[in-house]
Structure 1
């Protein structure tokens, strides 16, 4: 019943969007759009592409999923079960998808997210429909956040000196799959690669002194992001000071991301926090994150971002200062914020900002 209620809310949002766009329907083939519209359903087989093996059609009051016969039964049994959606399965060996879509569309004006069958584009405004989470999505996000945080931290606690970055990334991936999470981004850097690269794809390099581990994990379409730092023995005072400064910026981001605030103003406050910490140019060396949900980031925020923070939305800020980084996923609710990937069993440091005292992950010393 909860899933059908969520589905009804989303269909109402789409219809309101279509009314403004003077259109009759949508065709959603992107995996993020499909997952949102179908309440967490996965239409993809290859997770290395934005597209999927099924298209969600909403025309007037009718919802249809067009797929091939290979995917039909799995979609019915495991993805869209309990939802009021018809399934139109076509032969896999024939290029019938365009014909099937046009048959359902007729003379209606239908917008597409991937230009399929020559349909007009959906438009950037569709993303706004996805950013406001339903009550059911908030609950699912909390569950995902807890699972993702525990998976990453559990793997990090099992890191040992001389493990390669690839071995560490394998442990993270294993913990994720074991928790029902798909690890769509796993970054691991050891020692000097932490300083050199903000997006360190895992290599055969062995960890001697420090490790930075980054995870973006997906479950039910939603994505949670988090980063943890590990040190073998006491880290240098330089790293300790940099991490404390980075956490201060992170707390500034999270404390100021409140309903009604302009996203660009939140960003500017964080820029000031970088400056006050003595690292005024570090923000320019890596993006700082932004709103999240069914994508790792809907966009990367800047001081020019004019969107207004809304209740029941999610953000993943990821400030970094060369050699360290601080990142978790934030739920912004009507009257408070929740850092949902911040799991127990990790050293914390307390930082005060905006009359709040916020705990953030410190460096784990092994």
Structure 2
């Protein structure tokens, strides 16, 4: 049975790009663009390796996928529905040069914009996955103990991600002695009285991003409430049509407005759009790309010992949080229930 697909609308976006550039076809070669076009097909082996397939979209809208010979059968039977797949020897170039064709990597900003506004099928897939990921991460977080090592917790997180049919992209676990580390890659350090857990996981090509904080007898964190206000300001600033650099400027001001210091935003990157890339892009000062209606975001304001992060979709009429765990304690922030620090002791 053929799976639901948004592919015709995606091909139409590529055709518009071809018309604008006077090209006869587009050769799609990057992992994020292939996953987007091919409904989340797994196109890399290993996970972070180069794609084992390419795709060609003609000006007329015809789609052809080329796969290495040792991947073609798997792609036909496990990854792609109703797609013409041609096979080339495993030692050949899967995406040779074609005169008159445009490569997706030649127009990265155009392709990022093409991916930005999520279509109905991919949005439903993403929402379901984000909810499932939040529940699994929450279950692991609720079971942490002081004597656990960061690696113990990370191993459980990776196992739960795999059970969802997803791939781990980022797994961060920062225990009590490492709360000042912005990206706490797991170590043998014990969890102690406080832990910050952050996970990025990919399924159907799309990445769910979330952070949860657990206290096991630690004192209340003085900046946590202020950080939630910064996050709320970030969401309020993320409006369709606004340049991302302007949104980042508003976030920087929010740190100072809520008592965290004028330079606090410089301690860590603040996140940005997400979806087929963890940060698409990670927003830098002066970024001119604009917010699109229906675009996914994962802002991640940070202060030492605390972080706020969830995956959301920004629509013209508001923001929808996707990584919701109904079993996690919440606090109301401007009418929106946001994850609170879980108190286990």
| TM-score band w.r.t. shorter chain | over 0.9
| 1:2 to 1:129, Cα distance in 2 relative to 1, 3 A | farther
Match of 2:139 among 154, 167, 179: 154
Kept after mapping to 2: 8 A contact 1:148/1:181: no
For residue 142 of structure 1, the aligned residue among 127, 130, 143 is 127
TM-score by structure 1 length?
0.88
Q: Secondary structure at the match of 1:55?
A: strand
Unaligned runs of 5+ in 1: 115-120
| Alignment check: 8 A CA contact 1:41 1:79 kept | yes
* 1:145-184 → structure 2 map (5 Å cutoff): 145-184=130-169
* 2:217 paired with 1:226: no
Shift of residue 209 of structure 1? 1.1
Q: Partner of 2:319 in structure 1?
A: 337
Provide the C-alpha distance between the structure 2 equivalents of 1:147 and 1:205, rounded to a whole number of angstroms. 28
Q: Counterparts in 2 of 1:344-359, with a 5 A limit? A: 344-352=326-334, 357-359=335-337
The CA deviation at 1:39 is 1.5
Post-superposition Cα deviations, 1:284-336, rounded to whole Å, max 9, x if no partner, equal 01010101110001112245233332211111000001111010011112322
C-alpha distance in structure 2 between counterparts of 1:347 and 1:18, whole Å? 49
- Between the aligned partners of 2:290 and 2:104, the Cα distance in structure 1 is 24
Within 2, Cα distance between the matches of 1:180 and 1:3?
A: 17
Find the counterpart in structure 2 of residue 204 from structure 1.
188
**Contact 2:207–2:276 under 8 Å retained in 1:** yes
1:1-56 CA-partner distances (Å, limit 9, x unpaired) = 9956511101110010111111111222221111001111111111123x211111
Asked if structure 2 preserves the Cα contact closer than 8 Å seen for 1:2 and 1:136, the reply is no
2:55–2:64 CA contact under 8 A, matched in 1: yes
Question: Is 1:282–1:322's contact at 8 Å kept on the other side of the alignment?
Answer: no
Displacement of 1:123 in angstroms is 4.1
Change (3 A) 1:274 1:57: same
CA distance change for structure 1 residues 53 and 270 in 2, over 3 Å: closer, same or farther? same
Residue equivalent to 1:19:
19
Match of 1:320 in 2: 302
Q: 87, 90, 97: which one pairs with 2:88?
A: 90
Deviation per CA, 1:158-195, whole angstroms, max 9, x where unpaired? 11111111110011111111122211110111112111
CA distance in 1, matches of 2:149, 2:104: 40
Aligned length: 342
What is the CA distance between 1:272 and its match in structure 2? Answer: 2.3
Contact 1:316 1:328 in 2 (8 A): yes
* CA-CA distance at 1:220 after TM superposition: 0.2
How far apart are the structure 2 equivalents of 1:261 and 1:164? 43
- Paired with 1:224 and 1:32, the residues of 2 have a C-alpha distance of 14
TM-superposed CA distance for 1:68, in Å, is 1.7
Say if 1:59 and 1:320 are closer, same or farther in 2 by CA, change over 3 A.
same
Compute the displacement of 1:111 (Å).
2.2
Post-superposition shift, 1:255? 3.0
Q: Residue 364 of structure 1: CA displacement?
A: 0.7
Say if 2:175 is the partner of 1:190: yes
Aligned counterpart in structure 1 of residue 103 of structure 2, from 109, 112, 115: 112
Across the aligned residues of Structure 1 and Structure 2, the Cα RMSD in angstroms comes to 1.9
Structure-2 separation of matches of 1:300 and 1:312: 18
Aligned twin of 2:229? 248
- The DSSP-based 3-state class of the residue aligned with 1:183 is strand
* Structure 1 stretches of 4+ moved >6 Å: none
**What secondary structure, in the 3-state scheme, does the structure 1 residue paired with 2:190 have?**
coil
Alpha-carbon distance in 2 for matches of 1:91, 1:52: 15
TM superposition score normalised by structure 2: 0.93
**Paired residue for 2:219?**
236
Task: Give the aligned partner of residue 243 of structure 2.
Answer: 262
Change (3 A) 1:19 1:278: same
Distance in 1 between residues matched to 2:225 and 2:108, nearest whole Å: 41
Cα deviation for residue 67 of structure 1 reads 1.2
Aligned pairs (5 A) from 1:40-59: 40-49=40-49, 51-59=50-58
What stretches of structure 2 of length at least 5 have no aligned partner?
none
Q: Is the 8 A contact 1:154 1:175 kept in 2?
A: no
- Label 1:2 to 1:256 Cα distance change in 2 as closer, same or farther (>3 A): farther
**Aligned partner of residue 211 in structure 2, secondary structure:** strand
